[in-house]
Chain A
């Protein structure tokens, strides 16, 4: 083949010896050794270290992304807050089946515009899936979050709905779901670690396998002494 190499993104495929063989198809092929280029620009996560691990440099702008946490309260809101702030500014966000009562003062303190969040608490998992599909297909919401256990066909259906309507869907599932197959193109397992860090393991992505789990520093949570704070040591500390 003698077709000249076309200008394209630099990558292993470009400078390898295979480039002349592939010719003009090189741009349309994705090799597993490099990150896939998503069709739409990704939504930055707000954590540069995490952006570097995700194809396109952020959360995929449409489709399903799976986040695995072992229990609520593992840092999920602090992880998602920067991206949610960006998305909610453009279009409303729907949260389906939260495991506990979301606490408005904390979410507002994270910078989330609460008037653009709608919380749906369906009575049954079937209703949850219905509500989610309605939300995704309506074309009126920018992102959706779902805490729930779903079958693979249901996840595929939701992924397609989200992709067609240009909507970002995060499904938050327990860590045990890691062993199951899933249609989500991006899957992350997150476990809290010492010093307020979150160990993020990107175990499925359109790119090379991750070398080691990424320790991500989340914004710290600390009490700041106030004027009215009680200026005596806690009784528990005295007892200890």
Chain B
């Protein structure tokens, strides 16, 4: 077993901060009655001397520009749950704790190319959620959590039992036993190693039973059962914004948090998203309640790559104009298909980075992802494929379809020459002595005319005699005259 614990010391602040402010911020908590005290201060506030436990009045006295935010445990739980979903891509065994996620990663090391590579990928994923974790790695869950709580900015690692024992012995006491800290400090215990050296009976009599149990679990001397986090059956996650958003760029951060959770959920179910929707809940204006706006994204190639899904969603968001301010987002998975084997390995490809792949399958995946990206930004009608249709009428002989659809089966084209460019509407040409004019008098080539007479069955009948004509600039044109009518028309150009 190898446990990876993510401690999120800034979670109360990250859950309520909107990111749009440049002001120093702190999170307040009710303490002993009605007084509000500082629970957590950000770097700018801490630099001015605001420390946890300070009353609001003293904090504002030190730093008048300070923005006090109220702690919101419900939002913290919500965010922690999204993080657990996002982390599900690394292992199905995830435990949610107090500002803490624990992942059992022994079985995932090989898939992700080793612990260091897994950690890099995990850090990127947690970064995208807007969280700053501290990592602890140890063979038992409790030890990993203890190491994570005391870790500095980097990760505290202990791969083997001996390393773990050594690192635990050196841990300061404060984090593990806040209640007994004073007593133990008084008898000269500074670290967990010192406490373990004390007689167990005596410590238990003096109220240290809980501490002893914790130590046993951490050192692996007692069983340490956990309840796994169970991902929901269907993916529909809501995130309320801290401030109403008037413009789409303000939604980006929250949307990306949801996308990370979606990618994690898909990976743990071995699915790929084929279509998903972002619902924007609007504020009510006066008495009128606006229905939520739905942005639906369809993928030609199902994917569970967070970068790809995020990119598509961002492009779609940037094209949308909000009818009213938004206060909440919901991401719902509409359609999913099973995705495994080769495609699944490719879905992790963008996390690995660096390597250039040259196999045909990868190139095709890249191309399908490109089509999704182009359609998301430009709109599906602007990204097309053309195919030949079995019809004699020139306008009906070609058909455009969306590029993300499966290409139609090829139909044999007419044996007669056809122009490579077709005008949107036939252009009426002036005449000179019975011959058409287009940049000068046109000369009809021999072999014509070709009569096209069809369409009597659907009300769009045509009856035209087509010629290939050449002008003084030597360019070839496709011209016709109606059988029952006068005048020449230009219909196409030979490229």
- A residues whose Cβ falls under 8 Å from a Cβ of B: 70-78, 91-92, 98-110, 113-115, 117-123, 127, 130-131, 134-135, 138-141, 192-194, 196, 221-226, 228-230, 234-240
Query: Which residue from A135, A230, A239 sits with its C-beta under 8 Å from B434?
Result: A239
Known: A78-B495, A120-B383. A134 touches B448 (CB 8 A): no
Residue contacts A-B, CB under 8 angstroms, 8 given: A108-B410, A115-B387, A123-B378, A135-B374, A139-B356, A140-B366, A221-B417, A223-B417
Given contacts A73-B495, A101-B424, contact A234 B467 (CB under 8 A): yes
Please give, as numbers and ranges, the residues of chain B lying within 8 Å of A109 by CB-CB distance: 413, 417-418
- Are A108 and B370 in contact (CB-based, < 8 A)? no
A118–B403 Cα distance when bound, in Å, is 7
Interface residue from A92, A115, A122, A222 paired with B447 (Cβ < 8 Å): A222
Is B415 among interface residues, defined by CB-CB distance under 8 A?
yes
Contact A103 B382 (CB under 8 A): no
- Complex Cα distance A72/B420, Å? 10
- B384 lies within 8 A of chain A by Cβ: yes
Work out how many contacts link A and B, with CB atoms closer than 8 A: 206
Q: Per DSSP, are chain B's interface residues mostly helix, strand or loop, or mixed? A: mixed
Known contacts A102-B386, A104-B398, A230-B465: A236-B419 contact under CB 8 Å: no
Other A-B pairs beyond A75-B494, A115-B407, A193-B474, 20, CB < 8 Å: A74-B475, A102-B421, A103-B419, A103-B421, A104-B386, A105-B413, A106-B419, A109-B418, A114-B407, A119-B386, A120-B378, A121-B382, A135-B374, A138-B367, A141-B367, A230-B465, A234-B448, A234-B467, A235-B434, A236-B436
CB <8 Å contact, B373 and A134: yes
* B476 contacts the other chain (CB 8 A): yes
Q: Is the CB of A92 within 8 A of B475?
A: no
Q: Please tell me which one of the listed residues B370, B400, B434, B450 contacts residue A223 in the complex, with CB atoms under 8 A apart.
A: B450
> Assuming the A-B contacts A122-B378, A222-B468, A234-B444, are A103 and B369 also in contact, with contact meaning beta carbons closer than 8 angstroms in the complex?
no
Residue with the greatest number of chain A CB neighbours at <10 A, chosen from B386, B415, B446: B386
Contact yes or no, A107 B445, CB < 8 A: no
Whether A105 pairs with B447 at a CB distance below 8 angstroms is: no
Residues of A near B416 (CB, < 8 A) are: 223-224, 226
Those of B62-103 within 8 Å (CB) of chain A: none
Query: What's the least CB distance linking A137 to chain B, in Å?
Result: 9
Are B384 and A240 in contact (CB-based, < 8 A)?
no
- Judge whether A141 and B493 touch: CB under 8 Å: no
- Give the CA-CA distance A224 to B419 in the complex, in Å: 15
Contacts of A74 in B (CB 8 A): 475, 495
Q: For A72, give its contact among B364, B421, B424 (CB under 8 Å).
A: B421
Q: Chain A nearest CB: distance from B425 CB in Å?
A: 11
Task: Name the residue of chain B whose CB is nearest to the CB of A103.
Answer: B422
Q: Which residue on chain B has the smallest CB distance to residue A142?
A: B363
Q: Which residues from B are CB-within-8-Å of A118?
A: 371, 383-385, 403
- Rounded to whole angstroms, the CA-CA distance of A185 and B387 in the bound complex is 34
Q: Tell me the complex Cα distance, A139–B361, Å.
A: 12
Q: Complex formed: what's the CA distance from A108 to B475 in Å?
A: 21
Residue B377 at the A interface, CB < 8 A? yes
Asked if B435 and A192 make an inter-chain contact with CB atoms under 8 angstroms apart, the answer reads no
Quick check: B387 and A104 within 8 Å, CB to CB?
yes
Contact B444 A236 (CB under 8 A): yes
- A-contact 0/1 string along B342-370, CB 8 Å cutoff: 00000000000000100000011111111
Is B282 interfacial (CB 8 A cutoff)?
no
- Distance from A227 Cβ to chain B, minimum over Cβ atoms (Å): 11
B451 within 8 A of A: yes
* Residue of chain A at shortest CB distance from B418: A106
Contact A117 B495 (CB under 8 A): no
Residue of A nearest to B448 (CB): A223
Instruction: List the B side residues contacting A91 at CB < 8 Å.
Output: 363, 367
Min CB distance B153 to A, Å, is: 34
Instruction: Scan residues 393-409 of chain B and give those whose CB is less than 8 A from a CB of chain A.
Output: 394, 397-400, 403, 407-408
Specify the chain B residue showing the minimal Cβ separation from A130: B377
- State whether A223 and B445 are in contact (beta carbons under 8 Å apart), knowing that A91-B363, A119-B384, A139-B363 are contacts in the complex: yes
Contact with A along B439-454 (1 / 0, CB 8 A): 0000011111111000
Which of B370, B414, B424 is close to A140, meaning CB atoms less than 8 Å apart? Answer: B370
B488 surroundings in chain A (CB, below 8 A): 236
Q: How many Å lie between the Cα of A150 and that of B4 in the bound state?
A: 52
For the complex, is B423 an interface residue (Cβ under 8 Å from A)? yes
Q: By the criterion CB–CB under 8 Å, are A105 and B451 in contact? A: no
A222 in contact with B445 given A100-B423, A107-B420, A192-B475 (CB within 8 Å)? yes
Tell me the bound Cα distance from A99 to B420 in angstroms. Answer: 11
A99 — which chain B residues lie within 8 A by C-beta?
A: 421
- For B495, list chain A residues within 8 Å (CB): 72-78, 106
Binary flags per residue of B286-312, CB closer than 8 Å to A gives 1, else 0? 000000000000000000000000000
A81 to B372, CA, bound (A): 27
Provide the residues of chain B in CB contact with A141, threshold 8 Å. Answer: 367, 370
**Are A115 and B385 in contact, CB atoms less than 8 angstroms apart?**
yes
Q: How long is the Cα–Cα vector from A226 to B452 in the complex, in angstroms? A: 12
Residue B473 at the A interface, CB < 8 A? Answer: yes
Cα of A223 to Cα of B433 in the assembled complex, Å: 23
